[in-house]
Amino acid sequence: MNYFIEGLQGSGKSTLVKKLSGKYPDYKAICEGEYSPVELAWCAYVNKETYSDILEKYNDIRSEIVEKSFAEDDHMIICYTKIITDIPGFHKDLEKYEIYNGNLDSGSFKDIVLRRIHNWNSDNNIFECSLFQNIVEDMILFQKKNDRQIIDFYEKVKDVLEGKEYRIMYLWTKDIASNIDVIRKERTDDKGNEMWFPMMLGYFDNSPYAKEKGLSGTEDLLEHFRHRQELEIRICKEIFDGHYTLLKSKEYPLEIEKAGTYF
């Protein structure tokens, strides 16, 4: 079996992954930024020629880059956010090779996601936000897809998952604003300055979707999260029937082998 831990930011995904990892030591936990066979968040996805150029450009940290790089078909995946360096602009430079943030056209984006999920063949994994969060965010905010188009895409995701053992554990949040407030306070620097929320707000405000709709600010971001949660739960119900469990955020029994809905 494989488990996809999904839900909005602040819903407790990382906490649940840690608890499950402790309870089921034979399972491998794969979190954002680490090499994953199904997800590319916080990773650069480049062809071999571009990879060689990156190694040459950042020759001083070549060994660190190679250590965090993984070959996959005719591409290289660089877990660049796991590389600690004070070289100016390194992380910003590698960011442009992510598949998200509108860096790819819709067709190329979908092809990469579907191909990687299809080729994935390992078991006993616990994946943190690898099936919904980054993909749905990109499709809404950058590709400007409507709900029906996103649901249709997940029909194809279900098809390429055929024959694989998996369960989606979705953490449902009633009070989204309170959960966001918690992580706003948690993700600060040593002087108490917020680090995550300004970045998230800028990400939303500057997206093609928000600009087209004239949206900006905290309330519009929270409304976007409400919409995203409703859509992701709808996808679970309409597409992944028999493969998902809904859990109340931070209020759930720790028995992942049980199916059903816990609220």
Q: pLDDT tens, 133-171?
A: 999 999 999 999 999 999 999 999 999 999 999 999 999
- What distance lies between CA 152 and its chain's CA centroid? 19
> How confident is the prediction for the chain on average, in pLDDT?
92
End-to-end CA distance of the chain, in Å? 23
Cα–Cα distance list, 234 to 54, 117, 140, 148, 241 (Å):
41, 21, 15, 11, 10
pLDDT band at 255 (very low <50, low <70, confident <90, very high): low
Q: DSSP labels for 184-217?
A: HHHSB-TTS-B-HHHHHHHHHHTSHHHHHHT--S
> What's the pLDDT at 38?
96
Q: Is residue 251 helix, strand or coil?
A: strand
Residue with tokens 């989606």: 168
Q: Give the chain's length.
A: 263
Instruction: Name which of 48, 46, 59 is nearest 90 in CA terms.
Output: 59
Cβ neighbours of residue 182 under 8 Å, at least 6 residues apart?
10
For 6-15, 59-68, 130-139, 230-239, which range has the lowest pLDDT when averaged over its residues? 6-15
Q: DSSP labels for 78-133?
A: E-GGG-----TTHHHHHHTTSSTTTTS-HHHHHHHHHHHHHH----SEEEES-SSH
Tokens, residue 56: 């040459």
Residue-wise burial string across 50-74, b where 16 or more C-beta atoms lie within 10 A, e elsewhere: ebeebbeebeebeeebeebbeeeee
- The stretch 183-192 carries a mean pLDDT of 83
Q: DSSP labels for 5-64?
A: EEESTTSSHHHHHHHHHHH-TTSEEE-TTS--SS--TT-EEEEHHHHHHHHHHTGGGHHH
- At residue 260, does pLDDT exceed 80? no
- The stretch 6-10 carries a mean pLDDT of 92
Report pLDDT digits (tens) over 57-86: 999 999 999 999 999 999 999 999 999 999
Report pLDDT digits (tens) over 92-119: 999 999 999 999 999 999 999 999 999 9
> What's the pLDDT at 95?
96
- At residue 263, does pLDDT exceed 90? no
Residues 106/152, Cβ–Cβ less than 8 Å? no
Q: Where are the domains of the chain?
A: 2-41+105-248, 43-97
Residues facing residue 169 across a β-bridge:
5, 245
| One-letter amino acid of 96 | K
> What's the pLDDT at 262?
39
> What's the pLDDT at 170?
95
Annotation: CATH topology of 2-41+105-248: Rossmann fold (3.40.50)
> What's the pLDDT at 259?
41
- The stretch 17-25 carries a mean pLDDT of 89
pLDDT band at 254 (very low <50, low <70, confident <90, very high): low
